[in-house]
Amino acid sequence: MMEVLEVVLKVSLVLFMVGNLLDMGLRLKLQEAFAGLRNPRFVLQSLLWGFVLCPALAFLLVKIVPLDPAYGIGLVLLGMAPCAPFLPPMVERARGDMGSAAAFMILASVVTVVYMPVAVPLMVTGLTTDAWTIAKPLLLFVLVPLAIGVMIQRGSAPVAARLHPWVKKTTGVATLVMLALCVVVYGKGFLSAVGTYAIGTQILFFSVAASAPYALSFGLPRSQKSVLALGMSTRNLGAAFAPLFAVAAADQRAIVMVALGVPMQTIFSLLAARWFGSRAATAEPAETTTAVPTEPRTES
């Protein structure tokens, strides 16, 4: 029975990934995304935080925290895969720049597919696999649905608008099934992780990932800082799971560590989005007042 549930979980995870990225492509305004991609400071800092500093943070935590090696594998995989497909609603809550969010999602999706097949064999000890084994599911479940959605949107916006509600509903059902099955399949693993430093290490990782990019992204406006911070505090769990599911007999604790990212990223991204949104709401009236000139008095 448990084997059947694990298969259904993997199917729901695939539908979650494919559906969210197809949905993103159907709604993506390429002009807005390209505008964000033409900002070299935003692009460079996105690459720096997403594919250098966050993986380095996960790798450092594995080295300094007395964490079981299998849990360490899961954490490093999480550290390599920024940007969950549900980033746009988080950015909306934070009153961030949606064009930059679109740019970041395209950038993160493309670079993840290129980066992980090269980085995983180098950084993850104890996971024997090759670059193509990792690249195949990333290409199939990340880039292909995104590209299909973009092509439909570019070819016929009305068709994309009609498809969007169906894709969104299907993805919503898959998401609920995935979350429920994560609890059923990995519930015992979650309980076993208590007292092993796994949960505490993830809390530390997500705390830094959610706060440091916002505080240290110099030269970016607040609306782009929030995009960057939320992109780091959300993780592409499908990309993190892909190397584990592609390898026969992957350690269950590594899978549990990635699965723990589901509640962790949800909690931290919601808290971060709320805080960024409150800061933006406080700043907007002041900025508006400053921007509106007062009319000179005329003496009668």
pTM of the entire structure? 0.85
Query: For 219-247, what is each residue's pLDDT tens digit?
Result: 999 999 999 999 999 998 888 888 887 77
Tokens 């954490």 map to which residue?
A: 75
Q: What is the pLDDT of residue 86?
A: 82
Is the torsion defined by CA of 229, 46, 28, 170 positive or negative?
negative
The distance from CA 52 to its chain's CA centroid, rounded to whole angstroms, is 15
- pLDDT above 50: residue 299: no
The mean-pLDDT minimum among 26-30, 35-39, 176-180, 276-280 falls in 26-30
Residue 276 · residue 262 · CB < 8 Å: no
On whether the CB atoms of residues 9 and 181 are closer than 8 A, the answer is yes
Output 130 or 118, whichever has higher pLDDT.
Answer: 118
**Domains of the chain: residue spans and CATH:** 2-279 (1.20.1530.20)
Residue 288 has pLDDT above 60, yes or no: no
Pick the range with the lowest mean pLDDT from 75-79, 94-98, 242-246: 242-246
**Greater confidence, 5 or 197?**
197
| Predicted local distance difference test score (pLDDT) of residue 293 | 52
- Mean pLDDT, residues 29-56: 90
Mean pLDDT calculated for residue range 111-127: 85
- Lowest-pLDDT range of 16-20, 104-108, 230-234: 16-20
Which has the higher per-residue pLDDT, 173 or 286? 173
Which residues sit opposite 235 in a β-bridge? Answer: 82
Determine contact, residues 185/5, Cβ cutoff 8 Å: yes
pLDDT over 80 at 292, yes or no: no
What is the number of other CB atoms lying within 10 angstroms of the CB of residue 165? 10
